Amino acid sequence: MKECNLLATNLIVADLRETDLSNANLKKCLALSTLFENANLQNATFEGANIGRANFKNANLQGANLNCIGVEQAIFENATFDGDTIWPDNFSIEACGAEKV
Nearest to 60 by CA among 43, 84, 75, 83: 43
Q: Is the pLDDT of residue 1 over 70?
A: no
29-46 residue pLDDT tens: 999 999 999 999 999 999
Nearest to 47 by CA among 71, 78, 14: 71
The pLDDT-based confidence of 97 (bands split at 50, 70, 90) is: very high
Q: Domain 1-101, what architecture?
A: 3 Solenoid (2.160)
Q: What sign does the dihedral 84-94-22-49 (CA atoms) show?
A: negative
Domain residue limits, the chain? 1-101
9-30 residue pLDDT tens: 999 999 999 999 999 999 999 9
* Percent of residues, the chain, with pLDDT higher than 70: 99
